[in-house]
Amino acid sequence: MPTYIASVRDNTGKAKKEKVTADSLGEARTLLRERGLTVADLKKAQSFDIKNINLDELNEAFAVATASVTVKDKAVFSRQFAAMVNAGVGMVRCLSVLTDQCQNPKLKKALKQISAEVQEGSNLSEAMGKHPACYDNLYVAMVQAGEVGGVLDEVLNRLAKLLEDSARLQNQLKSAMSYPTTVGSLAVIIFLALTIFLIPTFAAIFEEIGVELPLFTQIMLGISAFLLDPRKSVTLVVILLGLFIAYKQYYKTPMGRVVCDGIFLKLPLFGDLISKAATARFCRTFGTLTRAGVPILTSLEIVRDTAGNQVIANAVEEARKEIQGGGMISIALDREKVFPILAVQMISIGEETGEIDKMLMKVADFYEDEVEQAIKGLTSMLEPLMIVVIGGMVGSILLAMYLPMFKVFESL
């Protein structure tokens, strides 16, 4: 008699897995219902047999496991969902159409399960909450607020706008970092190429003519000899790799995150950019949540968990405690000295006028523009700076190699 595996809910609404032995799928479903269980999914358990392996299912499972749901995926989904809800299409029909249209395997699988649970009577937000890889706390809380307020289409449009703004901000930050990263990598490659291939050639010439070497040339020859020694170069790589692993492990600790994220906010050139981007993200997320009707304390919890920087997350937590104790958000934020003074003052005005959601959106708009301008200024400044650095590095190496040659020419 075959065994079946079922995803069910008990009479309290708790989801769980059950196994049942029956002659058929229908009998298995009947047995589960007799136990007072609501069946969401039921399938036959497969014993391992090489003949039973389905390559299509295996490929699908691999695609789901390796896929990731991007911000863009969620933004497109939200826009399409909002349009159908606004047009009066039923919830189950909406989810069915969105599932068929979805190209992301992980999101597609989640939508199938969400659709099945909604058909069984679950709330949309409750069903989405079971798929954190696709829908985080922020998304679930806003959908829940939309369901309660009967404005799901409006909330979905706000979510799409929030996700689109977030994606644009991330892309701007990535573009700001891509140029120095690319040029810096190129500089390292050039340095290694000159050190490994050019300097040894000159070293052989210097040894042959027996010329006295300046200190700078000796240093460059020493670096070249060090890198060409397999034992020393491997030791250097191991040390650097060890330091990187140690940093990653330290960053995973609560204290490590606070220390490292605090350093990031104080970095020359980039610290101010990171701070402005974090301020824009905080205000945009917080404003969107409060405008959707999510309670302020819940909103602050979600913003804290999605801050992306532990120092800022701690400041948000202090603001949440201040509100919980009857205080004002702006007072706590001002005390933490994390956000710009202008942002704190504008939030304070929003609290006093009772329009904090509108003020948060204005602050977000302002600092998103600031980030865009800062990135343009940073890029225009870094371009000539990186050229000077690479030129200086190459020139220094060539000078170190030609200084002894000049001495030889002078002695002739």
Domain residue limits, the chain: 3-44, 68-164, 174-411
Residue entry with tokens 């809380």: 141
HSE-CB of 131 using CA atoms within 13 angstroms: 22
How many Å apart are CA 63 and CA 365, to the nearest integer?
38
pLDDT of residue 240: 94
Pairing of strands 3-9, 15-21: antiparallel
**Residue 250, pLDDT score:** 94
Residues forming beta bridges with residue 4, ordered by sequence position: 20, 44
Structure tokens at 306: 């999605």
pLDDT bucket at 411, cuts 50 / 70 / 90: low
Residue 198, class by beta-carbon neighbours within 10 Å (0-12 exposed, 13-18 middle, 19+ buried)?
Answer: middle
Q: How does the average pLDDT of the chain come out, rounded?
A: 85
| Token pair in block for residue 199 | 């300097």
Q: Does residue 40 register a pLDDT over 90?
A: no
At 190-242, the pLDDT tens digits run 888 888 888 888 888 888 877 778 888 888 889 889 988 889 989 999 999 99
Q: Of 346, 313, 343, 344, give the one whose Cα is nearest residue 330.
A: 344
Question: Of 253, 276, 275, whose CA–CA distance to 266 is shortest?
Answer: 275
| Per-residue pLDDT tens digits for 255-271 | 999 999 999 988 887 88
pLDDT value of position 237: 93
- pLDDT given at position 259: 93
Residue range 50-91, pLDDT digits in tens:
555 555 555 666 666 677 888 888 999 999 999 999 898 888
DSSP string for 314-325:
HHHHHHHHHHHT
68-164 and 174-411 agree in CATH topology = yes
User: Which residues is 338 bridged to in the sheet?
Assistant: none
Instruction: Place domain 68-164 in its CATH homologous superfamily.
Output: Type II secretion system (T2SS), domain F (1.20.81.30)
Given a contact cutoff of 8 angstroms between Cβ atoms, the answer to whether 228 and 196 are in contact is yes
Tell me which of 1 and 17 has the higher pLDDT: 17
The band of 412, judged by pLDDT with boundaries at 50, 70 and 90, is: low
Instruction: Render pLDDT for 326-360 as a digit per residue (tens, 0 to 9).
Output: 888 888 888 888 888 999 999 899 988 888 889 99
Average of per-residue pLDDT across 107-122: 89
CATH number, domain 174-411:
1.20.81.30
- Calculate what percentage of the chain has a pLDDT beyond 90: 14
* Average of per-residue pLDDT across 105-115: 90
- Residue 327 carries which DSSP code? -
Span 377-402, mean pLDDT?
85
Read off the pLDDT of residues 271-327 as tens digits, 9 standing for 90 and up: 888 888 889 888 988 988 888 888 888 888 888 888 888 998 998 898 888 888 888
